[in-house]
Amino acid sequence: MVNATELDEKFAMMEQTIEALKKSIDNKNLQIAELMSKLDLYNSGESHHILTAQEKVDIDSPSKPVDSQIQQLQDMITNTIKAQYGSLPQSSLGYSKSYSKRIEGLLMPIGYQPPKLQQFDGRGNPRQHIAHFVETYSKNVFDWYTDLEPKSIDCWEQLENQFLNRFYSIRRKVSMMELTNTKQSKDEPVVDYINRWRMLSLDCKDQLSEISAVEICIQGMH
């Protein structure tokens, strides 16, 4: 289970990783700047004044065409940029909390212990998890939470509305037809089939009596 302390530790580790990545990118930026400076120097014509006689001969030589050298330099710059920035978002690399400074400044009551609840991964009924939102998030739901706009949440109603708008509509609904067509697979133990069928029936949009549920489940056995 993930509590508030563990989340803070994870965020701290994320921030350290991001800082290391930013330093690496800064170093690469210096290399790119040097390459761009060399390219600008050549394009301005100043490079012709510092070339030796032998270098001028090499440039004029068919084996080292000027256009080829410029293209190689441009390719080097392009590849460097792609390698460092190709998979990064355009927004700031630093993580920003989604709730406002007012919420961030609130303190938990003395002795508060986060509840031990099953994490929410986007399946099931979201209303059952919203009361203890962060402690129950995992997988794609936690990604959604960390991607919220910085300082965009200032009250409980805002978070509740965004959460329900995002996940309540994707809750799977099972039809009576799907329940009826659900059969025990070959070599599937009876207990596994019953548990699988029961999990489907919990999301059925139609109300089933206990007798009807038992009959449909038995019909799917082989």
Q: DSSP letters along 126-142, please?
A: GGGTGGGTGGGB-HHHH
Q: Is residue 198, in this structure, part of any structural domain at all?
A: yes
| 182 and 145 together in one domain | no
Calculate Rg over the CA atoms of the chain: 30
pLDDT digits (tens, 9 = 90+) for 114-151: 666 566 665 666 655 555 555 555 566 767 777 788 88
- If you average pLDDT over every residue of the chain, what do you get? 67
- Structure-token pair, residue 191: 């207990």
List the structure tokens of 176: 């009576």
Q: Which of 53, 85, 117 is the last residue of a domain?
A: 85
Say if CB 182 and CB 127 are below 8 A apart: no
Q: Are residues 184 and 156 in the same domain?
A: no
Q: How many domains does the chain have?
A: 3
Q: What is the residue range of 213's domain?
A: 176-219
pLDDT digits (tens, 9 = 90+) for 110-123: 887 766 656 666 56
- Does residue 111 fall inside a structural domain? yes
Consecutive H or E run containing 67: helix 66-85
pTM: 0.30
Does the residue 164 lie in any domain?
Answer: yes
| Domain membership flag for residue 7 | no
In a domain, 165, yes or no: yes
**Maximum CA extent, the chain:** 98
Q: Tell me, yes or no, whether 70 and 119 share the same domain.
A: no
Amino acid, single-letter form, for residue 125: N
Q: Is residue 189 a part of any domain in this protein?
A: yes
